[in-house]
Structure 1
Amino acid sequence: MSESKHSDNEQYEQNPLIDQLLALLRGGQAHVTFDDAVRDFPADLRGVVPENLSHSAWQVLEHLRIAQRDILNFSAPPTGGYQPMQWPDDYWPKSSTPPGLSAWEQSIAAVRKDREHFEALLLKPGVDLYKPFRWGEGQNLLREALLIADHNAYHLGEFVVLRRLLGIWNP
């Protein structure tokens, strides 16, 4: 075990694998961070679907939020248990534009909050990353952490492409 600093500077004793999972979930090592991908995205371009692409930035952001929430709910089911969603209808917003002025920021805040909730699962004392969930088909917390990181990295790459095509990528 090694000692690390948590983002709020609270000391905690940590497994090196969990340290790496947290870094992977937060991004910025091999790819752009979530915050960099969504930062200062002009409101008038959030609903634009560039030629030869399938989705707007709004749809990608919402898909990322919805999928991450689904993985969180699968990993730590709310009261009443996990309720599976229908692919693809439940995972992608129908409209290319945000439904209101505050929707963009609300979605960003939800992505951050859900990631923090997932990170809290990893930081629980005595957490067993390898123990299969009682529900599902053998999935465990390690698999779900890697799934969130992989899925988010893919869609953050889409954000970079969208921004480049829209002429608003300033790394």
Structure 2
Amino acid sequence: MTNKKTDVVTELVTLIKKGNAHVPLTDAVADLPAELRGKKVRGLPYSIWQLVDHLRFTQWDIVEFSTAEGHESPEWPAGYWSEHITEVSDELWNGALQQIAKDQERFFKLLKDRADELLQPFPWGSGQSLFREAVLIADHNAYHVGEIIVLRRLLDAWE
């Protein structure tokens, strides 16, 4: 017999990591030519880099909020979006992707360590729970990964 709470945590981790019905971030950015990272497409307000950096920052914010009381999130939306830059160095790009992976691992540990409290509202916030924040990460990532793929298609960089 399996532990239902462990099963839920496993499903949440899989959803965040692999996207289930959605392309995971790692696949969405794989083999993206460096010169396209900061390129904007007419009619869209952001580049692939800005989307990746937005995912990095927003996920970090959610993990920090989920960890303990006292975390102060920045003003929405300005605090969650970086300025447009046209050239994104390998260091900046890889650093953002590594931070996303690192924060996901931090969040997965939190899910596993607090599996008995998944639906219990945090003592801080306005009713958020660890389960809700996990679904938020998965939902938010899927939305913006879809935008990355659309941008890649518009830039003729997606098969």
Matched to 2:122, the amino acid is F
Cα 1:126–1:65 shift into 2, 3 Å: closer
2:101 is aligned with 1:116: no
Q: Deviations over 1:86-111 (max 9, x none)?
A: 11111000123355441001000000
Matched to 1:136, the amino acid is G
2:98 is aligned with 1:102: no
Larger strand proportion of the pair = 1
2:153 is aligned with 1:164: yes
What corresponds to 2:138 in structure 1?
A: 149
> Structure 2: how far apart are the matches of 1:2 and 1:64?
33
| Greater mean deviation of Cα atoms: 85-94 or 120-129 | 120-129
What corresponds to 2:55 in structure 1?
A: 64
Contact 2:6 2:115 in 1 (8 A): no
What corresponds to 1:2 in structure 2?
A: 2
What corresponds to 1:22 in structure 2?
A: 13
> Structure 2: how far apart are the matches of 1:65 and 1:59?
10
% identical aligned pairs: 44
Q: Deviations over 1:27-75 (max 9, x none)?
A: 2420101110111111111111111211100000000101000000100
Cα 1:165–1:129 shift into 2, 3 Å: same
What corresponds to 1:10 in structure 2?
A: none
**5+ residue gaps, structure 2:** none
Q: TM-score, normalised by structure 2?
A: 0.92
Higher relative CO (CA 8 A, sep ≥ 6), structure 1 or 2?
A: 2
Contact 2:64 2:71 in 1 (8 A): yes
Contact 1:21 1:145 in 2 (8 A): yes
Cα 1:124–1:115 shift into 2, 3 Å: same
Q: Which runs of 4+ in 1 moved over 3 A?
A: 96-101
What corresponds to 2:78 in structure 1?
A: 89
> Structure 2: how far apart are the matches of 1:144 and 1:32?
20
SS in 2 for 1:19: helix
Give the RMSD, CA atoms, in angstroms.
1.9
> Structure 2: how far apart are the matches of 1:28 and 1:146?
11
**5+ residue gaps, structure 1:** 4-12
Aligned residues: 159
Contact 1:58 1:98 in 2 (8 A): no
Contact 1:69 1:114 in 2 (8 A): yes
Cα 1:50–1:145 shift into 2, 3 Å: same
